[in-house]
Structure 1
Amino acid sequence: MLPSSGRSAIGATVAGGVLAGLSTAPERVGRLFRRRYPTVAVTGMTGVGKSQLANRLSGRTTQATAGEVGSAVMERRTRRSARLQGFRFLVVPGDNAATRLAALDQVFHDEPVDGVIHVVANGHATPRRPAGTTGPATATREEQLAAELEDWSITAHRIASMAVRRDKPVWLVIAVTKTDLYADDLDVVMDYYSPGSGSPFGTKVDELRALAGGAKLSVDVLPVSSQGGGRSSELPAKQASAMVDALAARLAQLSGHV
């Protein structure tokens, strides 16, 4: 038999191990949850369809009406699968307001996300009426493309800053949405948003990759239609759904779910 001092020492060691295990349990559970449900920032200017895309990806059926453009607060969506895996989407407000800047700080600095879906619309973002004005909102496609490029410049710098601080690669998916409006020109539009294309947007993507480091950031460009398939649409409903499914499958690959 061990002397009382020896038994006390063993008891203290066991108790210390149990306490240490209990103290690290929340952290281990948190890491496991994060692997199974990584966080994804959904960014882009107002009117490109961020909320609609997040709704489709998360299986929500509620859609905004035509008059509801833009949100002043960050929206949250969750996609769940039967395998207890999925994503937590954080939809960043598109307006250049204090709430948007606070949301950008949160997803890229305070609580860095695992990946980013940046939504663009080939100049077809739904215009939003300026505060304090009445009547229908109007904007030319050229104006919307310029606003989209300016919005991307702000977001890209945040992504680069996050990527250089991380010890693992960050992934980015540029989701080219509302493709039902320009289905016949899809190849040209996809090239416009792709790195190495020499287009204004493609050049800024190249600049982002240079700032972040090629090994630190992966970039995909995928077409999406959140509400295609109408009678007058050039994009059949089946094809529109397949685009959303392809985006979801790519997210699963990037997150290591498959």
Structure 2
Amino acid sequence: MQSPLRHGKAALGTTIATGALAAISQAPERASRLLRHRYPTVAVTGMTGVGKTRLADRLSRRASASSADQGGQDVGSAVMERRTRRDPRMRGYRFRVVPGENAATRLGALDEVFHDEPVDGVLHVVAWGHATPRRTGGTSGTATATREEQLAAELEDWSITAHRVASMAVRRDRPTWLVIAVTKADLFADDVDEAVRYYSPGSGSPFGDKLDELRALAGGARLSIDVLPVCAEGDGRKAAMPDLLGRLELRLAQLSGHV
């Protein structure tokens, strides 16, 4: 017959082993939560030509060639690009730049950021009709598009993304925030306020109506929406613009709990 002392030691050993196994099994989840807290994942979406990659490069402090150096109208990636921003306090962001081309790779990237590995926030990039036109594959010459055509293309592109955001938001607790980044603000410096209104919820604009629909589906209280103008370029001719990039960085830090 086993002594009470030996039985007690065995029970204690079993308890310790069980606790250790539980701690080990929970370690990956805890590490994942810590990573998400310190480095939230941000989907950078938007149609081709609005400057998503350039903006992600600036936000992640990554040097990139100018559009002129890259060939102007041929700039753009057909695959998802990844950028990481780190600061001395071991905080930052993991950016996922979704390609803007309507291709299978784009749909796959959207599935990844909104289904397979849900992001914490969305940075949707628009340009108030000033996106760089892209040539159709296999063609030559200069691509052209009217501002009205570009605005219509932006709206169609947003409809696809908004559907994915709403679908994820009703099933999960993410994303918790959405920032509409109105890029190329230097091209319409005198009309920045009007551009921001166009992309704002409750504005009555076609884009604003789409945002109102998203908030109704996702739950307005759960999904924070900001609209901020931004100029991703940093050369001398933009020097007269306010520090719009800095304002965007500050808002991202606030939304992510970094400040």
Name the TM-score class by shorter chain: over 0.9
Q: Which amino acid counterpart does residue 82 of structure 1 have in structure 2?
A: P
Distance 1:169 1:150 in 2: 21
1:180-199 alignment runs, 5 A limit: 180-199=186-205
Q: Secondary structure at the match of 2:170?
A: helix
Gaps in structure 1 of 5+ consecutive residues? none
Q: Return the alpha-carbon distance in structure 1 between the equivalents of residues 98 and 170 of structure 2.
A: 21
* Alpha-carbon distance between aligned partners in 2 of 1:147 and 1:177, rounded to the nearest angstrom: 16
CA distance in 2, matches of 1:253, 1:34: 15
Distance 2:234 2:128 in 1: 15
1:100 is aligned to: 106
1:124 counterpart residue number? 130
What count of residue pairs does the alignment treat as equivalent? 253
In structure 1, how many angstroms separate the alpha carbons of the residues matched to 2:255 and 2:115?
A: 21
TM-score of the superposition, structure 2-length normalised? 0.93
Distance 2:6 2:110 in 1: 59
2:239 and 2:9 mapped to 1: Cα distance?
75
- CA deviations 1:112-161 (Å, max 9, x no partner) are 10000000001111111101211111111111111011101111111111
Residues 135 and 169 of structure 1: is their aligned pair in 2 closer, same or farther, counting only changes over 3 Å? closer
- With the length of structure 1 as denominator, give the TM-score of the two structures: 0.93
Which of 84, 87, 93 in structure 2 is aligned with 1:78?
84
Candidates 11, 34, 42, aligned match of 1:9: 11
Shift of 1:236: 2.1
Q: Runs of at least 4 residues of structure 1 off by over 3 A? A: 228-231
The residue aligned with 1:257 is 258
* Whole-angstrom CA distance in 2 between matches of 1:33 and 1:166: 18
CA distance in 2, matches of 1:30, 1:152: 30
- Quote the RMSD (CA, aligned, Å): 1.6
Q: Is the 8 A contact 1:164 1:216 kept in 2?
A: no
Whichever residue aligns with residue 173 of structure 2, its letter is D
How far is the alpha carbon of 1:6 from its aligned partner?
2.0
Mark the CA change 1:169 to 1:136 in structure 2 (over 3 Å): closer, same or farther.
Answer: closer
